Amino acid sequence: MTQPAPALNDQGLPVGYRLQPEWEATPRQLKAMRDRGDAFVLIDCRLPKEHALARIEGSLLLPLQELDVRWREIEALREQPLVIHCHHGGRSLKMAMLLRQRGFRDVKSLAGGIDLWSLDIDPSVPRY
């Protein structure tokens, strides 16, 4: 059962959301990056079953739980800007922190995750 849609502020974030600009990109910022054709990699750190339910097209599925076993794959992306998303933003923030601890410099978590992406940017992405 999905939660009711929250009221959004002028940044497209739930009213009262405390954005951490050094760590997070808003869905509107992500959309602008895509619209401009910025070079970056969008990583979906959710589980495959979640990815099957709803996804942002063009994202690379790399579950947080597989980070260590897929390290070579992520290491190859070290010099590229990364935006990581999950369902609501918690796991992606954790993954961004882990990557920064391992020397990645340009990593952000998608604020509000795919749920907020669906609410503010692309309602064709199912909420769950």
pTM of the model: 0.94
Would 11 be classed as within a structural domain?
Answer: no
Check residue 1 and give its pLDDT.
Answer: 64
Q: Which residue numbers in the chain have pLDDT < 70?
A: 1-2
State how far Cα 50 lies from the chain centre.
13
Would 6 be classed as within a structural domain?
Answer: no
Check residue 4 and give its pLDDT.
Answer: 82
CATH of the domain at 110: 3.40.250.10
Domain that holds residue 94: 24-120
Check residue 23 and give its pLDDT.
Answer: 97
State how far Cα 120 lies from the chain centre.
14
Would 16 be classed as within a structural domain?
Answer: no
Would 79 be classed as within a structural domain?
Answer: yes
- CA 2 to CA 68: how far, in whole Å? 31
Q: Describe the crossing of helices 27-36 and 113-120 by its angle, rounded to 10 degrees.
A: 70
Would 128 be classed as within a structural domain?
Answer: no
Would 96 be classed as within a structural domain?
Answer: yes
Check residue 3 and give its pLDDT.
Answer: 76
Would 19 be classed as within a structural domain?
Answer: no
* Catalytic positions, written as ranges: 86
Q: What angle do CA 113, 90, 111 make, to 5 degrees?
A: 35
Would 2 be classed as within a structural domain?
Answer: no
> How many domains in the chain?
1
Check residue 5 and give its pLDDT.
Answer: 85
